[in-house]
Amino acid sequence: MAKMRYGMLQLGDVLEFVEMPATHMYQLTALNRRLHKEIAKFTAGNIPKLPVMTIECDNLDIMDDRFPIWNGLDYINHLEQKFASITETEYPLISLLTEIRALQAQLEQWYEEEAEGLV
């Protein structure tokens, strides 16, 4: 079985957890930082609220089911949908969507290989 890492994302008092292949967690962290850096430049009215990556860890035991763990690909798919729906006219959103979609494609391939026992 492939090694997984977990990331904790926080938006105000809300916590979210994402399970990612250990080989891809750094990309999610870097993407989250880049999105936070760039989101302040948007002028659209429908900018999504974006949690901050606060913790990465190798093991995670959650005792409270209010905090589900997102599958990494599901989280990236959700993130892509949120950013694709932004009606931005002043800022070149395409570069951020390209980064999200690149990680999305890598994760799709990783999960396919995992299902086939290649990872």
Rounded to whole angstroms, how far apart are CA atoms 30 and 15?
19
Token duo for residue 13: 């008092």
What is the number of structural domains in the chain? 1
Name the CA dihedral angle for 37, 111, 102, 44, rounded to a multiple of 10 degrees: -50
Rounded to whole angstroms, how far apart are CA atoms 114 and 55?
25
Rounded to whole angstroms, how far apart are CA atoms 84 and 100?
10
Q: Is the pTM of this model over 0.85?
A: yes
Q: For residue range 58-108, what is the model confidence (pLDDT) as tens digits? A: 999 999 888 889 999 999 999 999 999 998 877 778 889 999 999 999 999
Q: Which range marks the domain in which residue 76 is found?
A: 4-115
Q: For residue range 4-30, what is the model confidence (pLDDT) as tens digits? A: 999 999 999 999 999 999 999 999 999
Asked if residue 2 has pLDDT above 80, the reply is no
> Would strands 69-71 and 14-21 be described as parallel, antiparallel, or unpaired?
parallel
Residue with the two structure tokens 């989101």: 39
3-state secondary structure of 31: helix
Of the pLDDT bands very low, low, confident and very high (cuts 50, 70, 90), residue 118 is confident
What kind and span of H or E run contains 106?
Answer: helix 94-115
Rounded to whole angstroms, how far apart are CA atoms 54 and 9?
6
